[in-house]
């Protein structure tokens, strides 16, 4: 379960600024153990020393990350906790990460499988859906959601007409028009 993503270094002693994906108050507490996946190696565990707000972001200081060069290695990394440590949600709420692997339906029509969920592109997270060889990006907006069945790995939406064609590959005719 991803709680945040490291955006940049913040300060001279290994602090990092993060984009938070959790809306649970006080989710980041001293002593908390977080899993970090770095591009240069396997996932490792870090212990949070301190957390404080700064200019609309959260700044984190981890034990053993004591320099800017240590902190630079964390840029772009996701900070995660095991599913067993996720906060309990109110009835009717879900973790968007649970949508990964769900079959997406538009009404009764099968669209594809949710491969990823991306944040930061607007109000609603973007579902990255694999439909055959095609990758489709769709907003996970409440207005479109009809049913979410996480145990059965099914997500049913009522997508507006034409939404699936918004990022479709160009036809040969459209490519010819662009060359003119």
114 plus 146 within the same structural domain: yes
pLDDT for position 167: 66
For residues 117 and 125, the answer to whether their CB atoms sit within 8 Å is yes
Q: 72 CB contacts (<8 Å, ≥6 apart)?
A: 9
66 plus 112 within the same structural domain: no
Would you give per-residue pLDDT tens digits along the chain (180 residues)? 778 889 999 999 999 999 887 776 678 889 999 989 766 667 889 999 999 999 888 999 999 999 999 999 999 888 888 777 777 777 778 877 788 899 999 999 999 999 988 775 667 888 999 998 889 999 998 899 999 998 999 999 999 988 887 766 666 776 677 777
pLDDT for position 62: 97
Residue 25, CB half-sphere, CA atoms under 13 Å: how many? 0
What's the CA gap between 124 and 31, in Å, rounded? 32
177 domain-assigned: no
75 plus 114 within the same structural domain: no
46 domain-assigned: yes
35 plus 103 within the same structural domain: no
For residues 85 and 32, the answer to whether their CB atoms sit within 8 Å is no
What's the CA gap between 8 and 31, in Å, rounded? 22
pLDDT for position 166: 73
What's the CA gap between 152 and 160, in Å, rounded? 24
What's the CA gap between 93 and 70, in Å, rounded? 37
pLDDT for position 164: 83
79 plus 14 within the same structural domain: yes
Q: How many domains does the chain have?
A: 2
Q: Which residues constitute the domain of residue 6?
A: 2-85
pLDDT for position 83: 74
């Amino acid at each position: 379960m991803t709680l945040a993503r490291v955006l940049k270094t913040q300060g001279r002693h290994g602090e990092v600024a993060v984009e938070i994906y959790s809306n649970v108050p006080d989710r980041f507490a001293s002593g908390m153990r977080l899993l970090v996946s770095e591009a240069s190696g396997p996932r490792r565990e870090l212990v949070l020393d301190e957390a404080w707000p700064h200019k609309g972001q959260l700044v984190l200081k981890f034990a053993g990350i004591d320099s800017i060069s240590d902190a630079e290695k964390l840029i772009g990394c996701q900070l995660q906790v095991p599913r067993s440590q996720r906060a309990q949600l109110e009835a009717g709420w879900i973790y968007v990460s649970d949508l990964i692997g769900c079959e997406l339906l538009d009404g009764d029509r099968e669209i594809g499988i949710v491969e990823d969920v991306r944040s930061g592109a607007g109000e609603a997270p973007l579902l990255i859906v694999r439909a055959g060889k095609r990758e489709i990006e769709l907003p996970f907006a409440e207005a479109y959601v009809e049913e979410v069945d996480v145990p059965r790995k099914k997500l049913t939406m009522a997508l507006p007409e034409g939404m699936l064609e918004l990022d479709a590959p160009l036809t040969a005719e459209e490519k010819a028009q662009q060359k003119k």
